[in-house]
Amino acid sequence: MSLIKNVGVVLAGLVCLVSAAQAETVKLAVTDLVGMEELQREFGAFRDELSKVTGYEIEFQPVTNRTAAVEALRFNKVDFVLTGPAEYVVMQKRADAKIVAGLSRPDYFAVIIAMAEGPYNSIDDLKGSKVGLGDVGSTSKHLGPIQALADAGLDPLKDVEVVNTKIPVLWEALKRGDVSAIGMNHQNFLSLRQDEMEKGGLQPGAFRVIARGPDLPNDVLMAGSHVDDQKVEKMRQAFVEHSDALIAAILQGEDNQKYSGMRFVTNVKDTHYNYVRSMYATAGFPEYADFIGE
């Protein structure tokens, strides 16, 4: 009995060793967040769920900015990066990164907003005026609105004076008349408009959308070129088979409420981001090899 018991203990130990060996470690970065505390707060639940459904031991790799993220991909310091459309095109060009899955967000497009009682009823009316946009390099708050202006026939580098600042500052500047119009993410606009009304300010009808862009390409989880195809496919299948649980985990982050109503999509192609490449050209960076503003 003693011998059998000892053999059982040895076998159990071997199973544990095999299981530990199978729990391969992969490193994940998120470009919008700086520092381990932010990563843990916003994506800790998502990391844990993704680790559970893939069997990988997933570790966060903090990055200080977008440039640091692409360099980490190039030199195999990180395996997967969650990032936005504007970041994707640069990372794909510089690091030959691969798409794993897209995070499809509802109503994700740029809008140009003016005051309803003002003289600006169309994009043509903005020629020669000052237009406020969000953070430099942001897909939906800067590049998207610039492209919306261009799509409507204005050259944003010549026909208007663009100023970039934080979204709440833009909102107040529009109401004061410091700028003729502002550009931002549609969801930002709806949130600010609702806030304005609830605080006893202007009613929604005080604002007019004079242009909007098309729905923007998805945020994307991408893999470094060093990550083998089998691992990429295993991660991709996790989003297909465990979509609801992974979405619920993402939405535990307070700032991640922008993903409310999202779904994972796995038919994302590099060509879907050509519109973003057009944005870079419109902004004066046709090579899209560097992040604007860094």
Spatial contact of 121 and 210, defined as CB atoms under 8 Å apart:
yes
The pairing of beta strand 219-223 with beta strand 98-104: antiparallel
Residue 33: per-residue pLDDT? 85
Name which of 27-31, 32-36, 104-108 the model is least confident about.
Answer: 32-36
Give the pLDDT band of residue 221 (cuts 50, 70, 90): very high
Is the pLDDT at 87 greater than 90, yes or no?
yes
Name which of 7-21, 44-58, 190-204 the model is least confident about.
Answer: 7-21
Average pLDDT in the 253-272 region?
94
Same fold, 2-106+217-276 and 110-212: yes
Average pLDDT in the 188-207 region?
97
Is the pLDDT at 11 greater than 50, yes or no?
no
CATH of 110-212, one of 3.40.50.970, 3.30.565.10, 3.40.50.1980, 3.40.190.10: 3.40.190.10
Is the pLDDT at 10 greater than 60, yes or no?
no
Is the pLDDT at 294 greater than 80, yes or no?
no
CA dihedral 143, 145, 149, 151 (to 10 degrees): 70
Query: How much is the mean pLDDT over the chain?
Result: 91
Closest by CA to 137, choosing from 200, 89, 81, is: 89
Residue 35: per-residue pLDDT? 85
Residue 20: per-residue pLDDT? 43
The domain spans of the chain are 2-106+217-276, 110-212
Average pLDDT in the 166-179 region?
97
Return the CATH architecture of domain 2-106+217-276: 3-Layer(aba) Sandwich (3.40)
- Who's near 276: CB < 8 A, 6+ residues apart? 85, 86, 88, 89, 139, 143, 216, 217, 288
Average pLDDT in the 214-223 region?
96
Residue 22: per-residue pLDDT? 58
Average pLDDT in the 96-122 region?
96
Average pLDDT in the 181-185 region?
97
Residue 32: per-residue pLDDT? 84
Is the pLDDT at 6 greater than 90, yes or no?
no
Per-residue model confidence as pLDDT tens digits over 234-248 = 999 999 999 999 999
Average pLDDT in the 272-294 region?
93
Residue 184: per-residue pLDDT? 97
Average pLDDT in the 1-24 region?
48
Residue 5: per-residue pLDDT? 47
Residue 19: per-residue pLDDT? 44
- Cα 85 from Cα 280, distance rounded (Å): 11
Name which of 7-11, 77-81, 110-114, 201-205 the model is least confident about.
Answer: 7-11
Is the pLDDT at 213 greater than 70, yes or no?
yes
Is the pLDDT at 139 greater than 70, yes or no?
yes
Is the pLDDT at 142 greater than 50, yes or no?
yes
Helix (H) or strand (E) holding 114: strand 110-115
- The label of the residue with tokens 């946009």 reads 133
